Amino acid sequence: MVKAGLRRMVRGVFPLMCTLGLGAADSTFFETQNQSPLVSIFGLPFLGEARTLGNGEGSFRVTLDLANHFAGDSAPGEEVELDGESKRFTLSGRYGVGSRGEVGVDIPVIATGGGFLDHFIENFHSTFGFPNHGRDLVPRGRLRYRYQRNGVSVLDMEQSGSGVGDVRLTGGWQVYQSSDARRNWSLRGSLKLPTGDPDRLRGSGSTDLALWVVGSSRSERLVLSGAIGAMGMTRGDVLPDQQRPVVGFGAFAIAYDVAPWLALRAQVNAHSSFYSGSQLREVNGPSAQLTLGGEVRCSRRTSIDLGLSEDLIVNASPDVVFHAALRYGF
């Protein structure tokens, strides 16, 4: 009887709470990027929607990316080890200006430490027959980010902590919208400022400018979205002799409305390498991540995103990232 009651609650009460759903959104993107300790310090942007906010419209979003890092390799003259856990909380605000413009800001707070997911991930891998790649051979809950090149430690961090990361200023401009509002294009940009501490990998020490285009097309239930862009960076303080000045990035996403209050999503993010002069994929390699999950629309103004990211290119991004976001529009 208890199980039957729970089923009735899930089928009845929860959809009722999240009725009056938002309908198909103009964009299907999870607001996440590569959480590698050597990449997340730069200004890879949240991609946003293909439709900018209308004049006087606004939104707030709180985002959490919980990433477990375990990667390491060696090559002639170099060795890298990335073992730890990071939590990135981002408070984002967007506001529509005029008939086509949008401005915003992203303020991240980053906590880095040994974490608590090692035991869970090891058991998960063992249960389903996946390799642990040496996870079970090192202490659990350890923080160690280290990179040696030509016998010199160019990165060595073992101290946990938290603090504000690099703040991003964002903007957008509606380039095109079809008469039925089902097809949209927007030009977007972001400016990342060096407000975080690069010694604690809460920032890069560089100023980054990104420009990209976002497009979407939707039918009654299906939404397809794509984005492509480039980012230029001043010389930062993390591996400065190897940092590239320009990277390219893009994404593709699909969403399907299974109910007025629920959409399922799949997304692929990718970018080119941020560094040169290394044979190690953890340092000098392109990256691609797959994020699967969905969006729960609790009202016309409020929605919740839940997703799980996996590395499509092994060791170029974290093995697993848990993503959650709460959005409120006004």
Give the tens place of pLDDT for each residue, 156-182: 999 999 999 999 999 999 999 999 989
User: Residue 125 has what pLDDT?
Assistant: 60
Measure the CA–CA gap between 234 and 211, rounded to whole angstroms: 15
Among 8-17, 98-107, 172-181, the least confident range: 8-17
Rounded to 10 degrees, the C-alpha dihedral 98/50/294/87 comes to: -70
Mean pLDDT score, 4-30: 52
User: Residue 71 has what pLDDT?
Assistant: 85
Burial tier of 180 (Cβ tally within 10 Å: 0-12, 13-18, 19+): exposed
- 320-329 and 302-311 beta bridge pairing: antiparallel
Query: Tokens 């230029």, residue?
Result: 232
Measure the CA–CA gap between 131 and 159, rounded to whole angstroms: 28
User: What tokens were used for 254?
Assistant: 């699909």
| Residue 255 vs residue 128, higher pLDDT | 255
User: DSSP code of 275?
Assistant: B
Mean pLDDT score, 243-250: 98
Contact between 24 and 184 (Cβ < 8 Å):
no
Measure the CA–CA gap between 196 and 212, rounded to whole angstroms: 24
Mean pLDDT score, 94-114: 96
Distance of CA 157 to the CA centre of its chain: 23
User: Residue 138: which pLDDT band, with cuts at 50, 70 and 90?
Assistant: low
| Residue 92 vs residue 20, higher pLDDT | 92
Contact between 170 and 189 (Cβ < 8 Å):
yes
Domain ranges, ordered by start, for the chain: 2-60+96-109+165-329
Closest to 168 measured CA to CA, from 50, 303, 289, 40: 40
Closest to 138 measured CA to CA, from 74, 73, 79, 70: 70
Burial tier of 275 (Cβ tally within 10 Å: 0-12, 13-18, 19+): buried
The matching CATH number, chosen from 2.20.28, 1.10.10, 2.40.160, 3.90.550, for 2-60+96-109+165-329 is: 2.40.160
Is the per-residue pLDDT at 23 higher than 50? no
Query: Tokens 């869970």, residue?
Result: 120
Give the tens place of pLDDT for each residue, 31-55: 999 999 999 999 999 999 999 999 9
- DSSP, residue by residue, 210-259: EEEEEEEEE-SSEEEEEEEEEEEE---SSSTTTB-SEEEEEEEEEEEEEE
Report the mean per-residue pLDDT for the chain.
Answer: 89
What is this structure's pTM? Answer: 0.88
Amino acid at 224: L
What SS3 state is found at 131?
Answer: coil
User: Residue 146 has what pLDDT?
Assistant: 96
Measure the CA–CA gap between 322 and 306, rounded to whole angstroms: 8
The dihedral built from the CA positions of residue 157, 162, 167 and 168, taken in this order, carries a sign that is positive
Mean pLDDT score, 44-67: 95
User: Residue 201 has what pLDDT?
Assistant: 96
Contact between 61 and 48 (Cβ < 8 Å):
no
User: Residue 6 has what pLDDT?
Assistant: 43
Is the per-residue pLDDT at 27 higher than 70? no
Mean pLDDT score, 88-107: 97
Is the per-residue pLDDT at 223 higher than 50? yes
| Residue 198 vs residue 133, higher pLDDT | 198
User: DSSP code of 190?
Assistant: E
The distance in angstroms from the start CA to the end CA of the chain is 41
- DSSP, residue by residue, 146-201: EEEETTEEEEEE---EEEE---EEEEEEEEEE-TTS-EEEEEEEEEE---S-GGGT
Strands (E) in 76-158, as ranges, are: 78-97, 101-113, 144-149, 152-157
Is the per-residue pLDDT at 120 higher than 80? no
Task: Express as a percent the part of the chain with pLDDT over 70.
Answer: 85
Is the per-residue pLDDT at 328 higher than 90? yes
